[in-house]
Structure 1
Amino acid sequence: MERESMEFDVVIVGAGPAGLATACRLMQVSKDSGQEITVCVVEKGSEVGAHILSGAVFEPKVLSELFPDWHEKGAPLHTAVKSDEIHMLGSATASRAMPHSLLPKTMHNEGNYIISVGNLARWLAERAEELGVEIFPGFPASELLFNEDGSVKGILIGDMGIGADGEPKDSFEPGMELHAKYTVFSEGCRGHLGKLLIEKYHLDNGKTPQHYGLGFKEIWKVPSEQHEQGKVVHTGGWPLTEGASGGGYLYHLEDNQIAVGLIVDLNYQNPHLSPFDEFQRYKTHPVISKYLTGGERLSYGARAITKGGLNSLPKMSFPGGLIIGCNAGTLNFAKVKGTHTAMKSGMLAAETIAQALLAGVEGGKDLDCFNDRFTESWLQDELYKSRNFGPAMHKFGTYLGGAFNYIDQNWFGGKFPITLRDEKPDHTQMADINSYSKIDYPKPDGKLSFDKLSSVYLSNTFHEEDQLCHLRLKDARIPIDVNLVKFDEPAQRYCPAGVYEVIEEEGESKFVINAQNCIHCKTCDIKDPSQNITWVTPEGGGGPNYPNM
């Protein structure tokens, strides 16, 4: 098929904080140098911010580096953190508040802001366009394009109008090729193309396997007497017990709104565990329910989180481009924050690429000098100091792991003379169905806890019914012949949107994929114990439409 193409100096895949910080910094360097750099950003969501979901408490230092006058420019940082609490939940009713003196200093949030990362992305997009960046929302990067020497040439925008049978419909429109001297991949956690790049160029050789969590988030409007703007609450322990770990959060935003969520580490062992139902249980704990009771749930979403840290960070450069942000895994899990680190990685990428372009370096090269720039930055220092946090929690559990991290962070400043590692991939951790008892989850009460379908409705998720399924099975027999037998097909439970189910049809079990429900969390691509499911981009504009997550 003959396709139209467009040429740019730099193409950026993904209009999240990392990609937009890259675009803005490129244009700043371009204007300072007096030499033009053409930059294009493609975004699979229907608009910038539509697919962005994060807690989020934000460290503003990176924004001050990118836009020192961010306050005057109206950046959406409206709620400064005023107080911090951490509670260890021992059971469905028991809890213990942790004194600040016993907390790792990475969990202190003085000077930070509670924000909507989606709204921050929208603001960054406005700044990027003012600087001359072209942004194309609703256009998913579906395939990689290569030069004859094997370097990345750019990306292919996905075809529109392909039916579920794989044949073109009357509405068919071929995708366009976007060519670039350098392509930056900032797709977020478990990016479809980033995953292929890491494999093709062996970027993770010698690294600890990447680790992930599944993060849930709801926004509630609560009675004013239950709201304390600027309050940050984190929790550990219940309901994640017996082979599962993670933690919860509750952030008091402006306008009597609260963001509440739960992060479930995707190395959990119990095949009967349902992360969605664990989140619903979490909201019933008195530490959390006292803020939500009588309130109204406004929105719901879920997204996988890359949390392996420095030990799992792949080589971020390859011939023709860079992989940055959560696509690479720059999140600082010790702080439970990734926006500022993702943006910094984008700024470092921009400065590296701009230096090459302005020096006349031929496109398609491996800009491995990026590694030197990364190593000399505060980002490397920050990730190094937090390298033990996740492995300590995985190896020693919530309490002993927490004690180790307190010593590492508060006594040694993150420079404990031992580096812990977790060498077991998350998908290999699941035990067989006989190792754990089934979990009897309570029925949702419609007040604090809810079912999956009503939750997906709040995510404003939409996909054309008649389109090629974007959830691909390597072997269609595995869900029933392997996963159902060994694990009671856990996709029925780990998916937070009810995409997968097993039904009985003419006396036989059948695996059903309800792809129209998909909220693009990527959990199936990560957690499937047989690694049989591959998530690829659906048609442009599909998926959730988060308003301010």
Structure 2
Amino acid sequence: MASSNGNGRVAPSAYPPPVDPQHEFIKRTLDDEDERIEVGVVIVGGGTAGLATANRLLQLLGDDPETMERLGEVPVAVVEKAKVCGGHNLSGAVVRPGPLQQLYPEYSREDWRKEGWAFGEVTKEAVYLTPTAKRAIRIPPPPPFKNHGNEVVSVSALARFQQRLAEEGGAYVLTETAATQLLVTDGRVQGVRSGDKGRGKDGQPLGNFEPGTDITAQFTVLAEGCWGHLTGPAIREFDLAEGAEPQTWELGVKELWKVPKPLDRLIHTIGPWPVKLSAKYGQIGGTWIYPMKDEKTGDHLVSIGFVVDLDYADATTSVHDLLQQFKLHPLVRRILEGGERVGWGAKALPGGGYWSMPKLTMPGALLVGDSAGMVDTVALKGVHHCIQSGILAGEAIYNALRSGETSLAPYEDAVEASSIGKELYEVRNTRQPFQKGFLRGGPIVNLAIASKGKLPPGKLPWHRQDQKPMFIGNTKDGYPKPDGKYTFDKLSSVFITGNATRDDAPNHIRVQKHVPREVAETWRWMCPAGVYEIPDDAPEHGNVDVIVNYTNCVQCGAITAKGGRLTTPEGGDGPLYQQT
């Protein structure tokens, strides 16, 4: 393979990760009956979408004891790799309340706040252009950014609330358990296999070794979030992406601050500073600043974050460092003045939208939420789609169980006819034009928003982001030096996530270890957790070695968009988010 295209640029796709997903991640035989766990329905992922599926299904089963009994001792099992549900979940997040109110009608919005996962209704909002590091120009909120009446929430805390309701309804929630293989026999998904525990750095069994187990089910729900470990192999195994555009990704880094003075409005900024306008750099990004009032403690909090499309070309683009740079803007510094950073996290999100969504069902299984790409990145909204897809999935599974059907195809039609399909279809062509750069693509994006998707007509294509040639630019020159007060380095940020990955755990990240400098720098700067390093004595040009500090990983998933592959860690490893 060539290391460069001759002008100092190289695409990460030329150096694919050492992985064979259709053989490694799909198990085509089942263990003997006495060695496996049999459940009614298994849900992979204890986030908002997976637990919404469990909650809705259990609501229906609770009114139908005959069908519940037919599912056996464990009617619903939720497999979650974090220490608790929500431990790996992160979003902004301002949520449209409708699906939450539909799923949990007995809880008022005041109850949400008392439960500790909602932090206030949006009553005021502002949108700013930030042309420079000193200026901010307030503009009328574009239609996608209007959030009046929405609710500021923590998805990690919401997931813990949903976990409690699922367990009260009869679910068996297996936390600290990774689903490492999809069970497929005779062309049908039969469940999942849980990962081994207690292996050493080289894969050797340690004294506390526990082998994984086949968990078989009548139906399987893949609710793994962004770039699910089993979702990718499932999409390929059953040709679910046939006719769809490639999925694309964005990366968000978030901080939570306790501030002495409450913020009275929700704020978004849409640049161009601190990203670069030039199409050469390919940088598209934006920010949020959300007010949060913790009803339990009385604390005034601020959620602040930066999101960047992973289609950029400058290898020195770092979302974490762009957030640190952004916080020094006078608009932001006034909000944080006298405050204390109390939380940090990072997460990738699917950005392809309507045209990139795969087929949602396969024999024996279906996809919900971010696993299916149900995110509107124009409005920065996806949580309500996660909840709505869970409701529809729970209903489709219940109807199939009750009637004895083996197909979940009605779920596809239900999603298309729902607010998910309608809202995503309306913004189906609103992000692709930015592949031409901010200045050339912006007018087309504005046209698509103003016409509610009618213009431009047809389907605008995406390209895979790992095929974007990378170069070593100068974005890094604007990053501030961490001062420990307003700006922070990556390692101190990882520390406050509660990450407790074993130092002798097996490596769960797959990348080539000897790659062109352009690719290595891409990984080094992109990773918000400082996982990838280049030795100090590495050559300035040509191929270099890559050191992978995988125990730092916070499971953001961004590496998969730029030439690597994130697999599941041992159950219980990774961050333990509280209010992200």
- Same fold judged by TM-score > 0.5? yes
Cα distance between partner residues in 2 of 1:469 and 1:361: 41
2:45 to 4, 8, 14: 14
Q: Contact conserved, 1:46 with 1:541, CA < 8 A, in 2? A: yes
The within-5 A match list for 1:480-519 is 480=514, 482-484=515-517, 486-487=518-519, 489-504=521-536, 510-519=545-554
Structure 2 partner of 1:341 = 385
Deviation (angstroms), 1:309: 0.6
2:4 maps to: none
Specify whether residues 321 and 217 from structure 1 end up closer, same or farther in structure 2 by C-alpha distance, changes over 3 A only.
same
Give the root-mean-square deviation of aligned CA atoms. Answer: 2.1
Are residue 237 (structure 1) and residue 277 (structure 2) matched? no
Partner of residue 266 from structure 1, selected from 289, 303, 310: 310
Residues 394 and 84 from structure 1, CA distance in 2 versus in 1: closer, same or farther, beyond 3 angstroms? farther
Q: Deviations over 1:466-524 (max 9, x none)?
A: 12110123xx4xx43x332x445321111110111011579995321111100000111
Aligned match of 2:503 in 456, 465, 470?
Answer: 465
Q: Separation in 2 of the partners of 1:403 and 1:293? A: 36
Residue 405 (structure 1) shift: 4.3
Measure, in 1, the Cα distance between the counterparts of 2:210 and 2:130.
Answer: 53
Tell me if 1:212 matches 2:249. Answer: yes
Q: Tell me if the contact between 2:82 and 2:576 (Cα under 8 Å) persists in the aligned partners.
A: yes
Are the aligned partners of 2:219 and 2:365 in contact in 1 as well (CA < 8 Å)?
Answer: yes
CA 1:77 to 1:91, structure 2 compared with 1: closer, same or farther past 3 Å? same
SS in 2 for 1:489: helix
Q: Secondary structure at the match of 2:521?
A: coil
Question: 1:189 is aligned with what amino acid?
Answer: C
Alpha-carbon distance between aligned partners in 2 of 1:407 and 1:488, rounded to the nearest angstrom = 38
Distance 2:303 2:538 in 1: 45
Helix, strand or coil for the counterpart of 1:294?
coil
Aligned to 2:494: 456
CA offset at residue 18 of structure 1? Answer: 0.4
Residue 448 of structure 2 corresponds to which residue in structure 1? 408
1:82-93 mapped onto 2 (5 Å cutoff): 82-93=123-134
Matched-pair contact (CA < 8 Å) for 1:79–1:229: no
Q: 1:177 to 1:74 in 2, by over 3 A?
A: farther
Match for 2:565 among 528, 534, 540? 534
- 1:180-229 CA distance string (max 9 Å, x none): 011000011011111111121121111111111000100001122xx224
Contact 1:186 1:326 in 2 (8 A): yes
List aligned pairs for 1:47-66, cutoff 5 A: 47-66=84-103
**CA positional deviation for 1:370:** 2.0
1:332, 1:338 within 8 Å by CA — same for their partners in 2?
yes
> Offset of 1:342 from its aligned partner?
1.1
> Counterparts of 1:510 and 1:306 in 2: how far apart (Å)?
30
**Which residues of 2 match residues 27-38 of structure 1 at below 5 A?**
27-34=58-65, 35-36=67-68, 37=71, 38=75
Distance 1:66 1:455 in 2: 35
Give the residue type in structure 2 aligned to 1:328: A
Cα distance in structure 1, aligned partners of 2:533 and 2:503: 17
- Are 1:546 and 2:577 matched, yes or no? yes
1:190 maps to 227
Counterpart contact for 1:52–1:118, Cα < 8 Å: yes
Name the structure 2 match of 1:445.
483
Does the 8 Å CA contact 2:58/2:170 hold for their aligned counterparts? yes
Contact 2:444/2:456 (8 A) holds in 1: no
Which amino acid in the other structure matches residue 58 of structure 1? V
* Per-residue CA distance 1:94-136 (angstroms, 9 max, x = gap): 2211124xx1x22101110111111111111122222211111
Shift of 1:287: 1.8
Partners of 1:442 and 1:52 lie apart in 2 by: 28
Q: 1:409 offset after TM fit, Å?
A: 3.5
3-state DSSP of counterpart to 1:216:
strand
Does the 8 Å CA contact 2:352/2:462 hold for their aligned counterparts? no
TM superposition score normalised by structure 2: 0.86
Question: Which residue identity is paired with 2:63?
Answer: D
Specify whether residues 291 and 306 from structure 1 end up closer, same or farther in structure 2 by C-alpha distance, changes over 3 A only: same
Deviation per CA, 1:396-427: give whole Å up to 9, x if none: 52x665554444344x3344361452421111
* Whole-Å separation in 1 of the counterparts to 2:57 and 2:503: 39
Compared with structure 1, are the counterparts of its residues 234 and 506 closer, same or farther at alpha carbon in structure 2 (3 Å cutoff)?
A: closer
**Number of residue equivalences:** 526
Match of 1:95 among 136, 140, 143: 136
Q: Given the alignment of the two structures, is residue 137 of structure 1 paired with residue 175 of structure 2, yes or no?
A: yes
Instruction: Show CA shifts across 1:301-352 (max 9, x none).
Output: 1000111110100001111100111011001112201100011111111111
TM-score, scaled relative to structure 1: 0.91
- Over 3 Å counting, the alpha-carbon distance change for 1:483 and 1:70 in structure 2 is farther
Which residue in the other structure is 1:381 paired with?
Answer: 422
Give distance in 1, aligned partners of 2:554 and 2:493. 11
Write the distance in 2 (CA, Å) between the matches of 1:394 and 1:89: 21
Unaligned runs of 5+ in 2: 1-30, 294-298
**TM-superposition CA deviations, 1:52-87 (whole Å, max 9, x none):** 110000111001211222218932333000111111
Whether the 8 Å CA contact 2:324–2:480 is kept in 1: the answer is no
Choose from 307, 313, 334 the match for 2:351. 307
2:401 & 2:314 partners in 1: Cα distance? 51
Deviations 1:268-311 (A, max 9, x none): 01122222211211111122121112211111110001111101
- Matched residues in 1 for 2:475 and 2:291: separation? 35
Name which of structure 1's ranges 507-516 and 289-298 shifts more when overlaid on structure 2: 507-516
Q: Is 2:387 the partner of 1:352?
A: no
Q: Does 1:290 align with 2:290?
A: no
Question: Following superposition of structure 1 onto structure 2, how do residues 155-194 of structure 1 map, counting pairs within 5 Å?
Answer: 155-194=192-231
Q: Take 1:372 and 1:65, find their aligned partners in 2: how far apart are those partners?
A: 19
